[in-house]
């Protein structure tokens, strides 16, 4: 029997021009390169400058993904942008990117699940493609967290960076159980943890953008358990073991969370794609950024089994397994 799958045709990413090192941050807040590296694994991050926004970075990533896929903008009939830092409250960043790409058909919208945004967006795109409501989707994670950071708060400002990544997905017919494409997705949310990681403003509450607030230790405490639980659920539903995973591409929040999750799942560190050291935590952009780097340097290849997972504000979390 045949079924429809969402197959990855191309990837792309974009980073701002400006690199900010831990040493640079030492001049801004009471911190040290040693503390940041030891607690997070981060050595530098990219910070958006003048003219660089979520939409401009997302557009650049999308163009590279389209080029890699060998497609024209006209081939796309669905644009989903995962972001918690849109250029405007509305219209959606997805429609702004659609406009820059010159796409006037199909449909486009944003998804807001903070750091889990890309996993939520992939899952959503997969459902639309499988249902036949769209043929080819651009799934973009794009963020400029530097614009909602409290730059006087050393407990958060050292953690985040800006960037964007994009995947092109195509609806393809496949023999059930065989071939490439998204194999499974599992999403979770538990709003009772909302006060552990939030932005203290918004259009309807304060009329301001607000600044990011986080109880880092509390987030850390829940992260590994939530991540491994949803991953084990996904692998169990596919009847595959962690050993069969070729590449694990986790959300890049903190090297300690990534390593602890991989260890608990039984995935060797040699199969884990890590970019948090160079990019910091780019929220919804971190997974597609890491994927694009691993595809372009030849690690992720056609036929590989790739596991994605993320956990973030809300709390929200989830996992996606893709055959490349
Ligand atoms: N530089 C130097 N010292 C610092 C800094 C800093 N930048 N930040 C905090 N400290 C100090 C604290 O004040 C504290 O000092 P004290 O002991 O005198 O009170 C000490 O370092 C230890 O602080 P902790 O918060 O206990 O440090 P911890 O080991 O938990 O590391 C961290 C903090 C890195 C934030 C960690 O808790 C973490 O990674 N949490 C998860 C965060 C995360 O992943 N967030 C993203 C989720 S995704 C999303 O949706 C955005």
88 is catalytic: no
Which of residues 175, 207, 223 is at a domain's end?
A: 175
Q: What is the mean pLDDT of residues 8-28?
A: 98
By alpha-carbon position, which residue is closest to atom 35 of ligand 1? 216
Q: What is the mean pLDDT of residues 22-31?
A: 97
User: What percent of the chain is predicted at pLDDT more than 90?
Assistant: 98
The residue segments making up the domain with residue 216 are: 181-323
Specify whether 244 is located in the same domain as 214.
Answer: yes
Residue 314 confidence (pLDDT): 97
- Please tell me the number of Cα atoms within 13 Å of 305 on its side-chain side: 15
Pocket of ligand 1 (CB under 6 A): 31, 35, 39-40, 114-115, 154-155, 158, 197, 214, 216-217, 219-220, 253-254, 257, 281, 283, 312-313
Closest by CA position to 176, among listed 300, 57, 323, 65: 323
Specify whether 236 is located in the same domain as 215.
Answer: yes
Residue 24 confidence (pLDDT): 98
Specify whether 170 is located in the same domain as 48.
Answer: yes
Specify whether 212 is located in the same domain as 168.
Answer: no
Looking at the 3D structure of the chain, how many domains does it have?
Answer: 2
Cα-to-centroid distance, 45 and ligand 1 (Å): 17
281 is catalytic: yes
CATH code of the domain covering residue 281:
3.40.47.10
Which of residues 175, 197, 228 is at a domain's end?
A: 175
Give whole-number Cα distances, 145 to 33, 140, 209, 286, in Å: 20, 16, 12, 12
For ligand 1, mutation pick of 216, 224, 225, 258 (most atoms within 8 Å of CB): 216
User: What percent of the chain is predicted at pLDDT more than 70?
Assistant: 100
Residue 178 confidence (pLDDT): 85
pTM tops 0.85, yes or no = yes
Specify whether 46 is located in the same domain as 161.
Answer: yes
By alpha-carbon position, which residue is closest to atom 11 of ligand 1? 155
Report residue 262's pLDDT band, with 50, 70 and 90 as the boundaries: very high
Residue 177 confidence (pLDDT): 79
Specify whether 245 is located in the same domain as 120.
Answer: no
Q: What is the mean pLDDT of residues 187-202?
A: 98
Specify whether 269 is located in the same domain as 283.
Answer: yes
Specify whether 171 is located in the same domain as 288.
Answer: no
Residue 292 confidence (pLDDT): 98
Residue 1 confidence (pLDDT): 75
Cα-to-centroid distance, 216 and ligand 1 (Å): 5
pLDDT tens, residue by residue, 152-182: 999 999 999 999 999 999 999 998 878 999 9
Question: How far, in whole angstroms, is CA 250 from its chain's centroid?
Answer: 9
Q: Helices H, strands E: what count in the chain?
A: 10, 13
Specify whether 38 is located in the same domain as 82.
Answer: yes
Specify whether 165 is located in the same domain as 84.
Answer: yes
Which of residues 175, 201, 216 is at a domain's end?
A: 175
Specify whether 164 is located in the same domain as 196.
Answer: no
SS3 content of the chain, % helix, strand, coil (to 5): 40, 30, 30
Specify whether 40 is located in the same domain as 76.
Answer: yes
């Amino acid at each position: 029997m045949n079924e429809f799958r969402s197959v990855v045709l191309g990837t792309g990413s974009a980073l701002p021009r400006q690199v900010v090192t831990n040493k640079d941050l030492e001049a801004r807040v009471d911190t040290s390169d040693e503390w940041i590296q030891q607690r997070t694994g981060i050595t530098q991050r990219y910070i958006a400058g003048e003219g660089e926004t979520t939409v401009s970075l997302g557009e650049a990533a999308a163009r590279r993904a389209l080029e890699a896929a060998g497609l024209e903008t006209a081939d796309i009939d669905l644009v989903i942008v995962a972001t918690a830092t849109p250029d405007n409250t509305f219209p959606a960043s997805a429609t702004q990117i659609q406009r820059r790409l010159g796409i006037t058909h199909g449909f486009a919208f944003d998804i807001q699940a903070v750091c889990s945004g890309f996993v939520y967006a992939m899952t959503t795109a997969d459902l639309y493609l499988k249902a036949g409501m769209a043929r080819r989707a651009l799934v973009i994670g794009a963020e400029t967290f530097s614009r909602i950071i409290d730059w006087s708060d050393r407990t958060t400002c050292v953690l985040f960076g800006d960037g964007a990544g994009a995947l092109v997905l195509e609806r393809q017919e496949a023999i059930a159980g065989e071939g490439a494409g998204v194999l499974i997705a599992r999403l979770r949310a538990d709003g009772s943890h909302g006060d552990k990681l939030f932005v203290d403003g918004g259009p309807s509450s304060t009329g301001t953008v607000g600044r990011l607030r986080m109880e880092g230790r509390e987030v850390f405490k829940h992260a590994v358990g939530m991540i491994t639980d949803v991953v084990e659920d996904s692998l169990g539903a596919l009847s595959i073991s962690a050993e069969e995973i070729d590449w694990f591409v986790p959300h890049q929040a903190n090297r300690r969370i990534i390593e602890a999750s991989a260890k608990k799942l039984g995935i060797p560190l040699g199969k884990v794609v890590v970019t948090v050291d160079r990019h910091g935590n780019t929220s919804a952009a971190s997974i597609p950024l890491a994927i694009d780097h691993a595809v372009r340097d030849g690690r992720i290849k056609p036929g590989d089994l790739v596991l994605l997972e993320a956990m973030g504000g809300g709390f929200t979390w989830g996992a996606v397994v893709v055959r490349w």
